[in-house]
Amino acid sequence: MNDNCVIRVNGLKKIFTGREKGKTKSVEAVSGISFNVNNGEIFGLLGPNGAGKTTTMRILCTLISPTSGSVSVLGYDLLKHQNEIRKNIGYVSQKGGLELRSTGKENLILQARLYGMSSLDAERRADELIDKLDLKSFAFRKAKTFSGGQKRLFDLATGIIHKPKILFLDEPTTGLDPQSRSHVWNEVKKLYDDGTTIILTTHYLEEADVLCNRVAIINLGKIVELDNPALLKRRIIAGDIIVLNFGSGDSLEFAKKILAAESYVKEIQSADTMLQVYVDEGDRSLPVVMGLMNKNNLHVQTVSLSRPTLDDVFLKLTGRKLIEPEQLSEKD
């Protein structure tokens, strides 16, 4: 057993039961997952909409109860010591929770008071966070006037008002423009540098790749893989990807046949006018591949060599892309 664990999840299951058109209907949102989170790490839950990420987080935050399985947070049993757990964690939900008619600072003070701080301490803590997260230019405006990015930064500030040891962030940057996203991630990174354990969900795999020490890939309520992003890419994709674009689909099958006979080619996938060729060492294979194409009069319009991304890992594991671009603007 690893003593460094702050969260232990064992065989966690959640079945929602409701009634629809007079019939009982149940949905298994989480299907018996197990994982541990280490002290001081950023742990990412990645998966498409409906995978069970939010449900898992809400259980870990004591907001809903599990159907079965066991969870301990900071050594406290989830079912027996909810108050102790709540004192030590912060949760920023997918939708956020600002009081829109109050100013940013008033929101912080309200939250601090809810955690039992005196009004003087609450005021001090609010000022400290406004300074720390660089919120001054809009802290005194009503929250309803905030941009999406400004709201998210204040959501983050309310989540850490009581200096939690563990912070849960559900989709902290979904729907934000790239600049606001990077601002939010910078603040998350600072909290991590200060020693806070962070569990987050995100649709942005590039960011998860850079930020997370470990990621769990969730699909249909189950953990499909769990590892450090770099190790995961190496293990699942094992190599680099050469993308050959022929400009038309005509010669695709012929090119595929030629490449499939090469010993350094591990796998080939075709899409439209392109072949994705998985190879051990891209730098060395690329000139050989191009030589073969020339020799066989196969005209390659464009070629690129890429290191695998978490998107590639996800596609390989589940046969689907994590998220279609139009889903990003969807509010759920």
Ligand X SMILES: Nc1ncnc2c1ncn2[C@@H]1O[C@H](COP(=O)(O)OP(=O)(O)O)[C@@H](O)[C@H]1O
- What is the contact surface with ligand X in residues (CB under 6 A)? 16, 18, 27, 29, 47, 49-55
Shortest Å, Cβ 224 to Mg ion: 17
- Phi-psi domain of 141 (left: phi exceeds 0; alpha: psi -120 through 50; beta: other): beta
Closer to ligand X by Cβ: residue 168 or 278? 168
At its nearest, how many Å lie between ligand X and the CB of residue 273? 33
Give the DSSP per-residue string, 275-291.
EEEEES-HHHHHHHHHH
Residue 254 interacting partner from Mg ion, ligand X, none (CB closer than 5 to 8 Å by kind): none
DSSP, res 139:
T
Tokens at 200, concatenated: 């987050």
Q: 282-295 vs 252-260: helix axis angle to the nearest 10?
A: 120
- Residue 64 CA, chain-centre distance (Å), reads 21
DSSP state of 83: H
Query: Quick one: what does residue 4 bind among ligand X, Mg ion, none, with the CB cut-off 5 to 8 Å set by partner type?
Result: none
Binding-site partner at residue 52 among ligand X, Mg ion, none, CB < 5 to 8 Å by type: ligand X
CB of 177 to Mg ion, least distance (A): 21
Q: How far apart are CA 29 and CA 24, in angstroms?
A: 16
How big is the chain by its Cα radius of gyration, in Å?
24
Residue whose entry in the numeric block shows the structure tokens 């999406």: 148
* Cα–Cα distance for residue pair 262/276, rounded to 1 Å: 14
Shortest reach from residue 170's CB to ligand X, in Å? 7
Taking CB under 5 A as the rule, does residue 54 contact Mg ion? yes
Minimum Å distance from CB 31 to Mg ion? 16
Taking CB under 5 A as the binding criterion, the range among 49-57, 207-215, 224-232, 287-295 that sits at the site for Mg ion is 49-57
173 binds Mg ion (CB under 5 A): no
Measured from the CB atom, is 47 or 164 closer to ligand X? 47
- In the complex with ligand X, the residue whose CB is nearer, 18 or 325, is 18
- Least distance in Å: CB of 58 to ligand X? 8
Closer residue to Mg ion in complex, CB, 104/159: 159
Closest CB to ligand X among residues 272, 330? 330
Nearer to Mg ion, 47 or 239 (CB): 47
Cα–Cα dist 174/298, whole Å? 42
Measure the CA angle with vertex 311, ends 34 and 221; round to 5°. Answer: 30
Question: Mask of contacts with Mg ion, 5-24, x by CB under 5 A?
Answer: --------------------
Q: Give the DSSP H or E segment for 6.
A: strand 5-20
Reduced to 3 states (helix: H, G, I; strand: E, B; else coil), residue 293 is: helix
Contacts of 310 by beta carbon, 8 Å cutoff, 6+ apart: 46, 205, 206, 208, 209, 215, 229, 232, 233, 322
CB of 34 to Mg ion, least distance (A): 20
Binding stretches for Mg ion (CB under 5 A):
53-54
